[in-house]
Structure 1
């Protein structure tokens, strides 16, 4: 299953690497495609992973926040 998330705090290529690494470290995550321009992440998982688990993983890598996808207002 694939889910889309909003991500804040991504400002450079290093940030993309950190966020991708953090998300992919969570059990059940297969892959993460992180984009700075959007900024969002498309996450593929083999079982449902709660957003709070992703938020906790990101805390280890910097000042990044992840939330359920919503269109910009």
Structure 2
């Protein structure tokens, strides 16, 4: 299941790498694709649907990033 999100706080390739690694550490996330153009656009492939709260909790391991769902 692939869903689209916006991650605020992404500003460079280093941010993308850190956020991708942190998200993919979650057992239900198979793949995170994060883009710099448009900045922070993200596709997350999950084995089981996670709530935005669960995704933010995973992302909170890093400081300064927030995630919102895009329909």
* TM-score in terms of structure 1 length: 0.87
Alignment correspondent of 1:6: 6
**Do structure 1's residue 61 and structure 2's residue 62 form an aligned pair?**
yes
In the TM superposition, residue 27 of structure 1 has moved relative to its aligned partner by 2.0
Gaps of 5+ in 2: none
In the TM superposition, residue 41 of structure 1 has moved relative to its aligned partner by 0.8
Moved over 2 A (4+): none
Alignment correspondent of 2:25: 25
Alignment correspondent of 1:48: 49
Q: What is the aligned-residue RMSD (CA, Å)?
A: 1.1
In the TM superposition, residue 45 of structure 1 has moved relative to its aligned partner by 0.7
More strand by share: 2
Gaps of 5+ in 1: none
* TM-score in terms of structure 2 length: 0.89
